[in-house]
A = this chain, B = another copy of it.
Amino acid sequence: MKQIKGIVFDLYGTLYDVHSVAELCSQHAPGRGLEISLLWRQKQLEYTWLRSLMGQYISFEQGTGDALVYVSNHLKLDLSARTRAELCDEYLKLKPYPEVPAALETLQALGLPLAILSNGSAHSIHSVVGNSGLEHRFAHLISVDAVRIFKPHTTVYELAEKHLGLHRSEIMFVSSNAWDASGAHHFGFQVSWINRSGNTFEELGARPDHVLSGLDELPDIVRPASTEQ
């Protein structure tokens, strides 16, 4: 394994909890917040994959809105356009997982450049990161919007190499999404899969180099030899 010279994080579900929208969902459909949030996330992802394959890219935010229309129809929720817009806005205010702020501080102190590589638009990434007060931790906030295709297409992972000026083998890619971790490993990154809640890894022909139960375990893995304590 090559020495790690930079760290690239997935955003949705990895640093930030996408199911923090469940609370607002439950205000519109009492008792069904998590059900809505889970199906919404599933469809959001499917739409990124399907539109990428069809060559019909739209922004992640538009796809998120479309996914909520599906959820509203499928679960017979009859959500108004105004309610759907309000719920989509929640995606700009996602909460980081509890251990994330301190772990990022530790990682930044190691002197490694930190970056986010996300399916979200630049506006969304900046909003989410800014709203949580963590913008100063990152050297690069990278959106797929520049290449108009979503993860796990190779073109997206190449963006990280370009922005960091590093070879893929020198980059630690960190994701909680097993399909993303698989794509990143096929691409050639070193990969840490964050598995906070006992999920099952996907069978896509790749395995992560490291499996962590939280971001607080990452510093020990990427710490340069010269700073080992």
Q: Which residues of A contact B (CB under 8 A)?
A: 43, 46-47, 49-56, 58, 66-67, 69-70, 73-74, 150-154, 179, 182-183, 186-187, 200-205
Contact = CB atoms under 8 A, between A and B. Distances in A.
A182 B55 CA distance: 12
Contacts of A51: 204-205
Per DSSP, are chain A's interface residues mostly helix, strand or loop, or mixed? helix
What is the total number of copies of this protein in its complex? 2
Contact of A54 (B58, B203, B204): B204
Nearest to A153: B53
Given A70-B200, A200-B74, A205 B50 contact: no
A55 B182 CA distance: 12
B153 A47 contact: no
A173 to B, nearest CB: 14
B50 A49 contact: yes
A151 B200 CA distance: 26
Nearest to A75: B200
Contacts of A54: 152-154, 182-183, 186-187, 204
Contact of A66 (B47, B200, B203): B203
Which of A152, A153, A186, A203 has its CB near the most chain B CB atoms (within 10 A)? A203
B203 A47 contact: yes
A200 B69 CA distance: 11
A186 B67 CA distance: 18
B53 A152 contact: yes
Contacts of A58: 205
Contact of A50 (B56, B70, B200, B204): B204
